[in-house]
Structure 1
């Protein structure tokens, strides 16, 4: 990584093309530019996957972080269709917008968007799916960061937690139903592998049936009702995300089956209704992956790219493991992340440009090893696949390990510091 000081204008505030605002963001930290050095600004455009709670929280957090960092903000929704995301990005870039955050459904839009932005001096961060066995490095320098939640770890922890409790309650011979997502999606493969990994550690436990819930409550409810009609009441139901789990709970309620008593359930993402269901005892566990962190962290990365921060190869593809939420800690999660009007993370502290050597990722953020990540989804390495040269060199010369250690050492404000009052900006 490097920070090129020539990229900071001395006094003139730059107005973003396409009607953006101009602003200088003062820094309270040592090690970054002084208050006399204004920062570059531009219009930040978020390409939203859906209009569900997860994306709404990302949108709100990114918008508020953009305000803090002096970036004007726009958003459009592409409804799981990456070709629409590409069209939206092209139109926005033609209007002068330069900073883009997307939550790609399948990764197909990332290379054309990043290559297009490379021709106009723009930048992209993706917090969704990449094409399997691809990386931001291969898609060009405008793709400044691919960001993931380490679901192969987080979802495994959620499922294993539920199964441990189920064995205590029902004995070892567990009957499990699995509500998957859209077949063929990389994230669905990743999460399904995590489920099968956890189940394999419990002799006698068996997934007796599965159907797709397509990431939403309505389909999750229909899949649950269908599976119970075929296989009877299970001991456990695993939902591939908390949107589907909302539908699972609705199905159980409609069938007169007591969630948390007759059937244990778990999910992943940490949506508000599921967190409250954990508190009331209806859900055993979820992995909270803070959509607000996705939005704020990505905003800081785009701000830094605009203002001269040059990420090293390991920093181009990073991720974090969320918080396993059970009844034991759900009150703290609700306190910091749901029932708190302040931002749960500090955007300035997430900016390398502003915070300098005080930078804190505020989550256990680490570079991702491509082979480990893609293999964990059960997707075979393509014949002749070779890692990007810059990434391979970072492994060979020890840079990857050094960056990993630096990120771990910088992590001070813990995800599980539930007494953190939040950022008021």
Structure 2
């Protein structure tokens, strides 16, 4: 009989048992030896016991914990891998399967595995409090982008919550929606518009909806008549579109809240015999590969090109820097970056840099780092301090909540303006131009 090294668990001395568990993990790159090493560590601290949760390589230094693996997050994960390689950081990606508690469990297991840093794209913003507490207790740095808990900032946590950053979504989605409404007015004389949103309560969805709605003020012959959630994925985007078209037979334009949803929108239109780009005009957000190709083909009108690879590079460099002794100023712990509006006019330039770029990285990832490039660092995008009151407009504050003192002081004493000017002075590699990396 085989000797069982962990008597409270399945018989992990058997190859078949280990393989069965590896097949059910929601991460990649884990060897049998690494799996058994982590199981040993987990048994010692009592950190396991939830079937099907992720267990990552014990050599992992950077983890990307994403809420699902739609096209945006798949592209982002590949870019995180490339950026981590640029900094010689082992890397692991984990799929939260749209479950905030799963992401908390995954992070706790990453702590056991010895990861030095993590970056989150959260399924549930309320999970950020538990994540922040675990990070502080275990001296692990993390960053977060897209979803979060409104009115809970890095300053409400600890220095271990090193960065919250997102594109400035109000302006970006307003610009994309304006492209749609302008075209609808020109081609159809105006008409009915519907929206396929993301996930209800998701802060990015709220910001994009505000930007979308603001665009209608400039195009009085258009009107938003209905909306349904598409939950940031193609399948739900298709179902929502089909329902919206059944309820609204005169639709001439659709605003998708991201490009994965937009792909579902296009599929729903084709299934009804409608020609995307002719019978119904469609816009999205995020600048994914399929969206850019659809714009070039004339099926999608526009998207906001914020580049999944940019978030990967920005956050990887930040984790590298803070784990190597660099300390951000208060105004650098929450950031916006400016997106491009991608239309047929500039889609081919974007495609060459971000989509059909082969093995050429779209950014010089090491130049994003203050530690690797202390004098000639370049964030390679228009980046500036984030204004929480502007970011969360329309979202009620908790009773008695005020923004933390360190943040308020940075706004009052000119640090916001100093950081913005410094970033602008170091911005020499245009986000909308060719890659700074050569094959």
Q: TM-score, normalised by structure 2?
A: 0.84
What is the CA–CA distance in structure 2 between the aligned matches of 1:401 and 1:152, rounded to whole Å?
Answer: 21
Give unmatched runs, 5+ long, in structure 1.
Answer: 1-17, 20-40
What is the CA–CA distance in structure 1 between the aligned matches of 2:250 and 2:295, rounded to whole Å?
Answer: 21
What is the CA–CA distance in structure 2 between the aligned matches of 1:53 and 1:249, rounded to whole Å?
Answer: 15
What is the CA–CA distance in structure 1 between the aligned matches of 2:114 and 2:242, rounded to whole Å?
Answer: 49
Alpha-carbon displacement from aligned partner over 1:228-277 (angstroms, at most 9, x marks no partner): 12211312111111111111111111111121112111110112112111
CA contact (8 A) 2:60 2:92 kept: no
Q: Give the 5 Å matches for 1:99-114.
A: 99-114=117-132
- For the residue of structure 2 that corresponds to 1:357, the secondary structure is coil
Alpha-carbon displacement from aligned partner over 1:203-230 (angstroms, at most 9, x marks no partner): 1321112111111111111221222122
Q: TM-score, normalised by structure 1?
A: 0.87
Q: Give the 5 Å matches for 1:12-51.
A: 43-51=61-69
CA contact (8 A) 2:194 2:226 kept: yes
Q: Give the 5 Å matches for 1:1-400.
A: 43-171=61-189, 173-340=190-357, 341-375=359-393, 378-400=394-416
What is the CA–CA distance in structure 1 between the aligned matches of 2:351 and 2:154, rounded to whole Å?
Answer: 34
What is the CA–CA distance in structure 1 between the aligned matches of 2:232 and 2:366, rounded to whole Å?
Answer: 33
CA contact (8 A) 1:66 1:73 kept: yes
CA contact (8 A) 1:336 1:421 kept: no
Distance 1:76 1:42, change over 3 A: closer
Could you say which structure has the greater relative contact order, defined with CA pairs below 8 angstroms and 6 or more residues apart?
A: 1
What is the CA–CA distance in structure 2 between the aligned matches of 1:237 and 1:51, rounded to whole Å?
Answer: 24
What is the CA–CA distance in structure 2 between the aligned matches of 1:277 and 1:95, rounded to whole Å?
Answer: 41
Matched, 1:408 2:424: yes
Aligned length: 383
- 1:421 is displaced (CA, Å) by 5.2
- For the residue of structure 2 that corresponds to 1:63, the secondary structure is helix
CA contact (8 A) 1:342 1:421 kept: no
CA contact (8 A) 2:168 2:337 kept: yes
Runs of 4 or more, structure 1, over 4 Å off, are none
What is the CA–CA distance in structure 1 between the aligned matches of 2:240 and 2:411, rounded to whole Å?
Answer: 44
What is the CA–CA distance in structure 1 between the aligned matches of 2:213 and 2:354, rounded to whole Å?
Answer: 30
CA contact (8 A) 1:346 1:423 kept: no
RMSD: 1.8
Give unmatched runs, 5+ long, in structure 2.
Answer: 1-35, 38-58
